[in-house]
Amino acid sequence: MNGTWHSHWRHAFKLDPDKSIGDEALEAICMSGTDGIIVGGSSGVTYENTIDLMARIRRYEVDCALEVSTLEGAVPGFDGYFVPLVLNTERSEWIVGRQLQGLMEYGTFVPWEETAAQGYIILNGDATAAKLTGANADLTESELVAHIQLADRLLRLPAVYIEYSGTFGNMDMLRAASRHVRDAQLFYGGGIDSAEKAAQAAEFAHVIVVGNVIYTDLNAALSTVRAVKAR
């Protein structure tokens, strides 16, 4: 795998700037032993709520990265930046359009050493991100493999993200993805709400990302870190 600022990650929490989290819960998340906190969300992300959450996470030593999905939410001061490119959509604005728009406006300010493209493959059609981007979530396994080859071999993206946000994914699909990734770091996110699911996904993905359960069952969220670190 490529040697970048995120290449040692195995576990990450994703915090949504549009959701509220108390100080105690935030401390537990940041001190959990996770490798990184990703700040990102599919809706309601603004400069104000992003910078507010970043400042609160900054009290802790944990790596803190921004998933840049809107221009409004592009905030300086993070340790790293992930820029998603949605690969399974026909709407070019989500593949390169918005990214180009961002570069036209902020290109001179981009910290390139700390910025990584993530090839997103969204496989839950009910996810907000899938609806927003018009993703074709019903990929067959061979179509998924072609998307992996596109991201990993042809485009040489540093990271590929299998996104099932809101539901636990098909582990056969994740296994197929893992078999075909050579250089990219494989992220998996979606429906991880227990140590068991964390361990299952971590068998195939380099990095598992845990989101929603932080807001519904903090202890279950924390158990996912131990499940990955115990491997």
Binding positions for Mg(2+): 16, 42
Q: Could you tell me the smallest distance in angstroms from the CB atom of residue 74 to ligand 1GP? A: 18
Asked whether the beta carbons of 188 and 162 are under 8 A apart, the reply is yes
Q: Is 190 in the site for ligand 1GP (CB under 6 A)?
A: yes
Q: Could you tell me the smallest distance in angstroms from the CB atom of residue 5 to ligand 1GP? A: 20
Contact set for ligand 1GP, span 195-224 (CB under 6 A):
209-212
Q: Could you tell me the smallest distance in angstroms from the CB atom of residue 82 to ligand 1GP? A: 11
Q: Is 80 in the site for ligand 1GP (CB under 6 A)?
A: no
Rg of the chain, C-alpha, whole Å: 16
CA distance 14 to 109: 24
Residues facing 64 on adjacent strands: 37
- Which of 192, 198, 201, 227 is in the footprint of ligand 1GP by CB under 6 A? 192
Q: Which residues contact 151 (CB under 8 A, 6 or more apart)?
A: 87, 119, 121, 157, 160, 184
Q: Could you tell me the smallest distance in angstroms from the CB atom of residue 205 to ligand 1GP? A: 11
Q: Could you tell me the smallest distance in angstroms from the CB atom of residue 196 to ligand 1GP? A: 14
- Which of 189, 198, 200, 224 is in the footprint of ligand 1GP by CB under 6 A? 189
Residue with tokens 């993905």: 205
Taking CB positions, which residue lies at the least distance from ligand 1GP? 189
Asked whether the beta carbons of 190 and 213 are under 8 A apart, the reply is no
The number of helix segments (H) and strand segments (E) in the chain equals: 10, 8
CA distance 171 to 175: 6
| Residue ranges at the known binding site | 14, 16, 42, 161-166, 191, 211-212
| Residue ranges at the known binding site for sn-glycerol 1-phosphate | 14, 161-166, 191, 211-212
Contact set for ligand 1GP, span 3-32 (CB under 6 A):
14
Q: Which residues contact 41 (CB under 8 A, 6 or more apart)?
A: 16, 17, 18, 19, 69
Strand, coil or helix: 160: strand
Q: Could you tell me the smallest distance in angstroms from the CB atom of residue 52 to ligand 1GP? A: 20
CA distance 64 to 44: 20
How many amino acids of this chain bind ligand 1GP (CB under 6 A)? 12
Q: Which CB, 88 or 212, lies closer to ligand 1GP?
A: 212
Q: Which residues bind ligand 1GP (CB under 6 A)?
A: 14, 163, 165-166, 189-192, 209-212
